[in-house]
Structure 1
Amino acid sequence: MALYKYADDMALVTSEDLSKYQQAVSNLVQKFEDFLLGLNISKTKEMCCGAVSEADTSLFKPLSIQGQPVEQVQSFWYLGTEIDDHLSFANHSNGVYKKALQRLHLLRKLRALNVNKDILTIVYKSLIESILTFNITA
């Protein structure tokens, strides 16, 4: 079981059986309470990944925190990246592609207006390159 944290975002990842998973979540909630931290249960999501079929996920006992059910999802956004239950980034990649195309259209319009090449480079790097390289490690 692993807990990934960044700023105010967390992801609990496990391949353990569900009883250990529920206990780990309960322990985490207790830590929040011990440190007087709030947990926004409405923003909390649960996703089963990998070779688990939809029929299999319906057999899982729904996760609950403080008596409130946690929403089960097939995809969610984590640290600016859309992750789905097959660990495919196809939806995320398509979204980035569409956003880049829209911004490229703006760049073409500016070029048609004979905007200085240095300005076009700045626009490209700030509006297009930044979204294409977001979350890419060196």
Structure 2
Amino acid sequence: MHSLNHIVKFADDTTVVGLISKNDESARAQSDHSPLFIDGSPLEIVKSTKFLGVHLVENFTWSLNTTSISKKAQQHLYFLRRLRKAHQPPPILTMFYRGTIASILSSCITAWFGNCTISDRKTLQRLVKIAEKIIGLSLPSIADMYTTRCIHKANSIVDDPTHPSHTIFTLLPSGK
């Protein structure tokens, strides 16, 4: 063992902590995995895929998903502008926004928004601000949509004793 290494004993394992010298990162090198088979066919490994409308990338960054969502939302902003030019009242514009643009922006938001970069969050919030200007009313921010959806999801888990995560949640004495 190298003189700069030392052993750390934890309750459930032992870890060697040491200095990597001369750029020797062989301990960190990834080995090739043997291929996986499903019904005799090899499973193809891809960089990204779209599942249930959410773009999943191999390194679990959400920029591709955010870009896709923002493009869809921008396309629907065109129709919001057309409704505004047709002199539709703000309640109709708000209803259109909630039914289309907000629905796109908040689709599976509890899965991806928490790990978005600040740049991605700003991109999505910019779309909300554009919609606010078109409608002429204040709209919930993208972070507020995320918080609301997370609270709703947590409440549905607490209310369902058959949910696998039900035991993870315990309510405070206040009931929150």
**TM-score, normalising length from structure 2?**
0.43
Cα offset, 1:85, TM superposition: 0.8
**In the TM superposition, what are the counterparts of 1:1-138 in structure 2 within 5 Å?**
56=30, 59-137=32-110, 138=150
Cα offset, 1:116, TM superposition: 2.1
Find the aligned partners of 1:78 and 1:129 in 2 and give their Cα distance.
Answer: 20
Gaps of 5+ in 2: 1-28, 111-149, 151-176
DSSP 3-state at the match of 1:131: helix
Structure having the larger proportion of residues in strand: 1
Cα offset, 1:56, TM superposition: 4.9
Percent of aligned positions that are identical = 36
Aligned-residue Cα RMSD (Å) equals: 1.8
Find the aligned partners of 2:82 and 2:100 in 1 and give their Cα distance.
Answer: 14
> What's the CA shift string for 1:63-83, capped at 9, x where partnerless?
112211111111122333111
**TM-score, normalising length from structure 1?**
0.55
- Kindly report structure 1 stretches of 4+ aligned residues shifted beyond 6 Å: none
DSSP 3-state at the match of 2:88: coil
